[in-house]
């Protein structure tokens, strides 16, 4: 049976979590509207997207193992060739799935 | 030209020629649909992750309704998975909220990058839009802006689709408890890695990227190894971006 009951303490916690997350989502917008950014800050903001994306993937790939490294190389090649996000994703997931299955059967 | 400078210039242009300049800042239904379309593969793999979240939430002691409520109000996979690890009776409310805040800190940086465009929108639209800012649709929106298009609704369209997928699959995960427990069995853990990698490939501009990205990767790996939770995203992002500016400064 599907449980819909909500405990007050849990509700309170979830609402505080929501406020904390929303504060971080609006924080960058709010700060930029209060302070005029210097050229240096602008140059810094420009470096953020790449650095964050690299940080998101680096542990998975570099600490994963040969399967992840191989799949990552394949994804880079496919996205350079096709420029297609779905193609890159299907390639990555497909190769990881296949190599893990292979690994499990060999070991 | 750096993205930030391009966005600033665009602001000035669009203020002067409302409705005419190519690439002016807009907020249209067409933009929202374009964002949603680009997010379809991401939303599909997001469903897999949401099923897992719904399942694990039950194991952690959250009711199915509570899990859906959390997905709808918090809408952050990273934060929600982290707090499941902290969920215990009695609830450590302060710890959970603090962890959520720490995991979310990267959003401050991400929001600041979008600010040159979003701060030009009416306040309600801007502050409503960023509720839907997640890693994936943010990254796609940056790509869109770099391509010269400035439709801010692109972020919301992608975000709304992800929101529906995330809350819907959390609900399904609660209903089908025990069906999906390990995303790595389906290779789903690699789906977002692949998407982010493809976006990184598109951001490559030449040798100037090598230093900041190497620093970001090294710091992220070290932080992932030695610090709990999601500090690695924020620390890697900060270290890499600072390295990039310092490099440019010399």
Q: How many structural domains is chain A composed of?
A: 1
Question: Is B70 in the same domain as B137?
Answer: yes
H/E run at residue B132: none
Assess whether B153 and B78 both reside in one domain. Answer: yes
| In a shared domain, residues B132 and B213 | no
Mean pLDDT of A16-34: 94
Instruction: State the complex-level ipTM.
Output: 0.83
B62 touches chain A (CB under 8 A): yes
Residues of chain B with C-beta less than 8 angstroms from the C-beta of A91: 194
The 10s digit of each residue's pLDDT in B50-62 is 888 888 788 888 9
| Mean pLDDT on A69-98 | 91
Instruction: Give the pLDDT of residue B23.
Output: 60
Higher pLDDT, B67 or B199: B67
Q: Is the dihedral of CA B101, B102, B103, B108 positive or negative?
A: positive
Domain membership of residue B16 (yes or no) is no
Q: Which residues neighbour A62 within 8 Å (Cβ) at sequence distance 6 or greater?
A: A69, B217, B221
| Residue B241 belongs to a domain | yes
Distance from CA of A8 to the nearest CA of B (A): 10
Domain limits for position A57: 8-106
pLDDT at A104: 83
Residue B101 in any domain: the answer is yes
On the question of pLDDT at B17 being above 50, the answer is no
Examine the domain organization and report whether B118 and B44 are in the same domain: yes
Q: Read off the pLDDT of residues B130-187 as tens digits, 9 standing for 90 and up.
A: 999 999 999 999 989 988 899 999 999 999 999 999 999 999 988 876 665 566 667 7
* Chain A hits for B239, Cβ within 8 Å: 51
Q: Is A47 on the interface with B (CB under 8 A)?
A: yes
In a domain, B147, yes or no: yes
- Domain check: are B56 and B105 in the same one? yes
User: Domain check: are B125 and B178 in the same one?
Assistant: yes
Q: Which residue has the higher pLDDT, B61 or B28?
A: B28
Query: Is residue A3 situated within a structural domain?
Result: no
For residue A61, list chain B residues with Cβ-Cβ distance below 8 A: 193, 197
Quickly state the pLDDT bin for B9 (edges 50, 70, 90): very low
Do B171 and B47 fall within a single domain?
A: yes
Whether the Cβ atoms of residue A53 and residue B139 lie closer than 8 Å to each other? yes
Q: Does B246 touch chain A (CB under 8 A)?
A: no
If DSSP states are collapsed to H, E and C, what string results for B144-192? Answer: HHHCCCCECHHHHHHHHHHHHHHHHHHHHHHHCCCCCCCHHHHCHHHHH
In a domain, B15, yes or no: no
In a domain, B9, yes or no: no
Beta-carbon separation of B202 and A60 below 8 A: no
B182 and B110, same domain (yes or no)? yes
Q: What is the pTM of this model?
A: 0.78
Number of separate domains in chain B? 2
Q: Are residues B199 and B219 in the same domain?
A: no
Higher pLDDT, B172 or B4: B172
Q: How far apart are CA B168 and CA B191, in angstroms?
A: 19
Residues spanned by the domain of B127: 26-203
pLDDT score of A6: 82
Do B98 and B118 reside in the same domain of the chain? Answer: yes
Residue A2 lies inside a defined structural domain of this protein: no
Please name the residue of chain A whose CA is at the shortest distance from the CA of residue B212: A51
pLDDT interval class at A27 (50, 70, 90): very high
Q: Which residue has the tokens 């709990």?
A: B228
Residue A1 lies in a domain: no
What does the pLDDT read at residue B20? Answer: 34
Q: Are residues B169 and B211 in the same domain?
A: no
Question: Is A87 domain-assigned?
Answer: yes
- From residue B225, how far is each of A60, A64, B79, B95 by CA, in Å? 11, 12, 19, 21
């Amino acid at each position: 049976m599907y449980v819909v009951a909500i405990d007050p303490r849990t509700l309170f916690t979830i609402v505080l979590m929501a406020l904390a997350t929303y504060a971080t989502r609006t924080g960058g917008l709010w700060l930029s509207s209060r302070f005029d950014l210097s050229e240096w800050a602008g140059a810094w903001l420009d470096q953020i997207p790449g650095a964050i994306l690299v940080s998101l993937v680096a542990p998975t790939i570099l600490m994963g193992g040969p399967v992840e490294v191989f799949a990552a190389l394949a994804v880079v090649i496919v996205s350079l060739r096709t420029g297609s996000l779905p193609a890159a994703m299907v390639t990555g997931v497909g190769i990881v799935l296949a190599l893990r299955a292979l690994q499990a059967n060999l070991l | 030209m750096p993205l930030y400078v391009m966005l600033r210039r665009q602001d000035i242009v669009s203020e002067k020629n409302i409705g005419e300049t190519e690439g002016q800042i807009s907020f249209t239904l067409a933009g929202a649909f374009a964002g949603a379309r680009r997010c379809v593969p991401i939303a599909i793999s997001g469903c897999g992750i949401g099923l897992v979240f719904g399942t694990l939430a039950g194991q952690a002691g959250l009711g199915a309704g509570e899990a859906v409520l959390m997905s709808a109000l918090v809408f952050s996979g990273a934060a929600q998975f982290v707090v499941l690890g902290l969920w215990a009776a009695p609830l450590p409310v302060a710890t959970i909220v603090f962890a959520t805040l720490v995991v979310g800190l990267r959003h401050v940086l991400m929001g600041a990058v979008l600010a040159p465009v979003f701060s030009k929108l009416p306040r309600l639209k801007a502050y409503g839009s960023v509720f839907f800012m997640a890693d994936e649709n943010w990254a796609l929106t940056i790509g869109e802006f770099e391509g010269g298009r400035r439709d801010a609704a692109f972020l919301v369209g992608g975000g709304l689709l992800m929101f529906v997928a995330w809350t819907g699959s959390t609900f399904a995960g609660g209903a089908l408890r025990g069906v999906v427990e390990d995303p790595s069995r389906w290779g789903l853990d690699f789906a977002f890695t692949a998407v982010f990698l493809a976006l990184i490939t598109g951001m490559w501009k030449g040798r100037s990227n090598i230093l900041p990205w190497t620093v970001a990767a090294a710091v992220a790996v070290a932080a992932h190894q030695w610090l709990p939770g999601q500090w690695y995203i924020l620390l890697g992002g900060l270290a890499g971006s600072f390295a990039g500016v310092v490099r440019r400064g010399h």
